[in-house]
Amino acid sequence: MRFRTFLTAGIEVLHLGAQKAQSNAWPAEHWQTEKGRWKLYTPAIDAHLSDSLLPMSFGSSIEGFVLLLEVADFASWSHSNFFAKADGYVSYRHKVKEVWSVGQLDWHEIKNLTPKGQLTAYADALRIAVHRITQAKRRPKSFDVEQFAQATADLLQQAKVSQLSRTTYLNSPSRRVRELSSSDGR
């Protein structure tokens, strides 16, 4: 089973380690006065879950799950339709055997949490997104939602937060091996 996160964040969300990025829209003073940061690195979470879920099967209808994670101050974005509604969005893509589902994290609730607290919030958003599949108009016929939800919850519970940071992931040898094998077409 493949797993990945498609992260959409409001401009107010500050990512740990990204203050010097070229695409950073905030001046240095903002980074100094605003202490809240998104401390997790979603590609590291994706790698952890994908590697662990790869040998597992949750039914013949699904081979991949995409969490459309939205992190923002939703109250300040209420005038736009940039983010999904609170009841979320689910799409079953039967040709590619994937389910895409929205999970949301309110920036004001998570920005000052520890990395472990943010991982718990991420796990809660994932659980809600997975359970939303059961309410979709079009849903996979053969997909054990409960088993998948439990497996991802267990894997996130067992995850070492230190392994889910940007620095640790970018310097990990397993990441380089994964990149090399994917560039070889394997």
Q: What is the pLDDT of residue 22?
A: 46
Asked if residue 40 lies in contact with residue 67, where contact means CB atoms within 8 angstroms, the answer is: no
Mean pLDDT of 20-30: 55
Query: Sorting pLDDT into bands at 50, 70 and 90, what band is 79?
Result: low
Q: Sheet containing 2-9: which strands, arranged edge to edge?
A: 2-9, 64-72, 98-106, 90-93
Average predicted confidence (pLDDT) for the chain = 83
Q: What is the pLDDT of residue 16?
A: 67
Q: Write out pLDDT tens, residues 85-144.
A: 767 789 999 999 999 999 999 999 999 999 999 999 999 999 999 999 998 888 888 999
Asked if residue 10 lies in contact with residue 72, where contact means CB atoms within 8 angstroms, the answer is: yes
Asked if residue 83 lies in contact with residue 70, where contact means CB atoms within 8 angstroms, the answer is: yes
Kindly tell me if the per-residue pLDDT of 154 is higher than 60: yes
Rg (CA), the chain: 17
Q: What is the pLDDT of residue 37?
A: 81
Kindly tell me if the per-residue pLDDT of 66 is higher than 80: yes
Segments making up each domain of the chain, as ranges: 2-183
Q: What is the residue whose two structure tokens read 């389910």?
A: 99
